[in-house]
Amino acid sequence: MKTEIIHTHDYPDREGLAIALAAGIAAQLAGAVAERGEASLAVSGGSTPKRLFQVLAETDIPWDRVTVILVDERICPPESDRANQKLVRETLLQDKAAAAHFVAYETAYELPIENAEKSADLFAGLPWPLDVAVLGMGTDGHTASFFPHGDRLDDALDMATESRVLPMQAEGAGEPRLTLTLAALLDARFLALHIEGQEKRDVFDMALAGTDAGSMPVRAVLHQDKTPVHIFWAP
């Protein structure tokens, strides 16, 4: 199964990875616009994708036909340095990509489930399925906001769920989170996992070697037979 689902793309340096992955994303989005008149892109936060976002922002595609969302978000003020949307606004939605339509998660409500339901309503009008989804991975084996032993992890990984957005709380997550579900992500036409550094490569190899998604939720993405996953790695 892994040989059919897992496609690894290794690069000697992070700049080369950013250029290659940006080109791949741009080609997918431009193709979607040409075929269907619109495209959708889900990206992840954290420090890893910053250079990717900068390169992608300079890429000449019809950004005004592209809708950008986040794979997951912390429930915190939008202007907080902890907010993934702040990173996206400051690095991706610049230059040519400033023309893209960005739909942020709702984070103003007191209860996480309220934010999840309101976010799902905001996302309902997007071009689904996603044309491109770019995941990251933590050294604890989480991806999206699928955290080890998260309170809604089973629900988020349930391929039968009709929910696109769920709240998540976990010991390693810090703030309560909002996340796209595994079902929504695996519907993507192009799914990438972007990791950098030897430590994360070792975590990835460990995830491939085992099957318990409760302790390393990224395994739910790697050990499935629905959607090819393109792994982009540089040391």
Q: What is the pLDDT of residues 152-184, one digit of tens each?
A: 999 999 999 999 999 999 998 999 999 999 999
User: Residues 204-211: what's their mean pLDDT?
Assistant: 97
CATH topology of domain 2-234: Rossmann fold (3.40.50)
Q: Is 229 left (phi over 0), alpha (psi -120 to 50) or beta?
A: beta
Q: How far apart are alpha carbons 101 and 187 in whole angstroms? A: 21
Band (pLDDT 50/70/90 cuts) for residue 4 is: confident
Residue pLDDT, tens place only, 121-157: 999 999 999 999 999 999 999 999 999 999 999 999 9
What pLDDT does 2 receive?
Answer: 44
Domain ranges of the chain: 2-234
pTM over 0.85: yes
In the predicted structure, residue 197 carries a pLDDT above the cut 50: yes
Q: How many Cβ atoms sit within 10 Å of the Cβ of residue 88?
A: 24
pLDDT at 1 over 80: no
At 25, which helix (H) or strand (E)?
helix 14-36
84-130 residue pLDDT tens: 999 999 999 999 999 999 999 999 999 999 999 999 999 999 999 99
Are the CB atoms for 37 and 6 separated by under 8 Å?
no
Interatomic CA distance for residues 186 and 228, integer angstroms = 9
